[in-house]
Amino acid sequence: MENKKKKPRFPLKLKAIVLLAALSVAITAVGAAMSYFVVSRMNTESFKNEALDVANTAALSINGDELKVVKDSTLDILHSIPEEEVVLSDAWGSPEFEAQLEKFSPVTRLPEYSNVLSQIKKIQHMGISALSSVYFIALDAENSISYAVYLADAADEDACLPGVIDHEEDANWEAIDDPAAGISPYITHTDTYGWLVTAGAPVYDSKGDFAGFLYIDLSMDDIKARENSFMMMLIIALAVIAIVICFIFVRLTGIAVVDPVNSISKAALSYVKDNKSGVVFESMKINQNDEIGDLYSAVHQMERDLNEHMANVLIMTAEKERLETELNVATKIQADMLPTAFPKNEGYSLFASMTPAKEVGGDFYDFFKIDDDRIGLVIADVSGKGVPAALFMVITKTMLQFRAQSGGTPADVLEDVNKKLCANNESSLFVTVWLGILSISTGKLIMANAGHEYPAIKGAEGDFRLHGSDHCPPLALDPDIIFMNEELTLAPGDCLFLYTDGVTEAKDSNGQRFKEKRLISTLNKNSDASPEELITTVKKELESFSNGTEQFDDITMLSVRL
């Protein structure tokens, strides 16, 4: 047999720990992500507002008249360059880019340029927290593409000179038509400058005309670092809290669920393995008013029921052993009551057998001398099985033999015995009987049939045939039944075969019956055999036919040959 691989065993407490750990990780991850999102959003909005406030405040300190001169001069040069020749800042450092910057060099020689550059440098070096850069930009929409054109940059290194051009952010296009709308703060990230929030404020000249935008960049690197640090601390804090909650929950679950279930499980295994009747669950005393308590109560009740059942089984086993002993005795008594000393060399041969379906049966056969020339032949089948049928069989057999030996025909015998059986038959049992009286010297057979199977007779024709006659009812049903005799004569070599319905009603594995036709066929195949050989052959045929199917009725046969 192939050995199945044993599945690994995972204790209930381990499953609870794994489940809670997974749940804690999920809660920690979700909680940390949500918290980080909220904090990051708050910081971002706060920083945007701060950048816009700084830009608006710084714009108030700029000389708008001077900035307007720089802006107009820069845009005049830009408008003189064909659109297809404009070089953007993406080409920084290229010959084309440097050539374009050279075209804007006259702006850098304007005194107004030096003044506005000085003004934003003062702002750049005022020590404003997180201030990264300050610069002027003009938005130009006269060409078919909107540009952001640098006017002046306060950066000490890599400053954007007049004429550095970028595409303007889509979100700020409205500022081209309405400078008062300002530049909405936006956030960018690059490897060079890191995280920046950019905001712009309009600058006006003394006449109220728009002069340009003052842009400021605030570095968000510190705040992003604080956010990351906050995220780590939050994850650690949530993990610690989750671990503590997990530990407490596992402990409480262990006390309230796992430990009681383990106790019940160990007790059940101990009960099954060691059979500690009556002491395992009784001593546990689990008093929880929940499903665990219900489980304990059910298992405890099962223990009591099993103990009671086992006690009953012991009693029943002892009773069964006593009954088996008594049945063995009854079987021996029944077997001893059936004649087994078959006659030899007396002018005829005779053989009979009875195989009960249970330890004791209701079928019986009998043969006995009535006088020196006549013998009585009996085969009978009591309704029911077991001890009651066997007792009824003993009574019937004794009455039939005693009455037949007292004289009279088979019909007279059956009538007298029937009256006596009906008188005290509270169990309503009945018995079918075939009774015959055979004269050995003449072969004359007088017989009467009380509801029994037709006998099979081999006569002058040479084959066995069923000898049918009118059936009378079985014995013990009605005390007023009148039975009828029938006579025939057997010649030397003729054979009489008697049987009970256990032969013809035997079944195979498909539920098919043996039936009379198969019986007659078997007898005719062995028509010259002795009575013993004939009965032995029929037994073997029945065994082959049933093919191991359990016998459900007694099988009894008797055969006589002159």
Cα–Cα distance for residue pair 519/505, rounded to 1 Å: 11
Question: What pLDDT, on a 0 to 100 scale, did the predictor assign at position 13?
Answer: 64
Given a contact cutoff of 8 angstroms between Cβ atoms, the answer to whether 202 and 180 are in contact is yes
Residue 318, both tokens: 């002892």
Structure confidence at residue 383 (pLDDT): 87
Residue 1 confidence (pLDDT): 43
DSSP codes, 507-520: B-TTS-B-HHHHHH
| Phi, psi dihedrals of residue 291, rounded to the nearest 5° | -65, -35
Can you tell me the distance from the alpha carbon of 232 to that of 236, in angstroms, rounded to the nearest whole number? 6
In what helix (H) or strand (E) does residue 465 lie, and over which residues does it extend? Answer: strand 464-466
Instruction: Check: CB of residue 466 under 8 Å from CB of residue 406.
Output: no
Mean pLDDT by 10 residues, the chain (562 residues): 58 70 76 74 82 88 93 92 88 91 93 94 82 87 71 86 78 67 80 86 92 88 74 77 77 72 69 60 68 72 75 83 69 78 88 82 90 96 80 91 95 96 88 96 96 92 87 92 95 95 92 94 94 96 91 91 94
Q: What is the pLDDT of residue 424?
A: 80
Do 473 and 451 touch, CB atoms closer than 8 A?
yes
Read off the DSSP letter of residue 506.
-
Q: Rg for the chain (alpha carbons), in Å?
A: 60
What per-residue confidence (pLDDT) applies to 455? 96
Which residue reads 């992500």 in tokens?
A: 33
Beta carbons within 8 Å of 107's beta carbon, 6+ residues apart: 70, 73, 74, 77, 113, 151, 162, 163
Instruction: Give the span between the Cα atoms of 56 and 200, in whole angstroms.
Output: 8
- Give the tokens for residue 494: 């003729």
Q: Minimal CA–CA distance to 434: which of 477, 388, 483, 482?
A: 483
pTM over 0.85: no
Residues 373, 435, 546: CA angle, nearest 5 degrees: 120
Check residue 422 and give its pLDDT. Answer: 93
**What is the spatial order of strands in the sheet that 495-499 belongs to?**
349-355, 555-561, 495-499, 456-458, 464-466
At 46 the pLDDT is: 82
Beta bridge partners of 212: 203
Of residues 415, 323, 313, the one with CA closest to residue 360: 323
CA-based nearest residue to 199, from 383, 54, 37:
54
Q: What is the DSSP letter of 475?
A: B
Strand order, beta sheet including 444-450: 363-369, 374-382, 431-439, 444-450, 486-489
- Tell me the C-alpha distance between 202 and 210, whole Å: 7
User: pLDDT at position 462, please?
Assistant: 84
Pairing of β 374-382 and β 363-369: antiparallel
Half-sphere exposure of 112 (CA within 13 A, CB side): 19
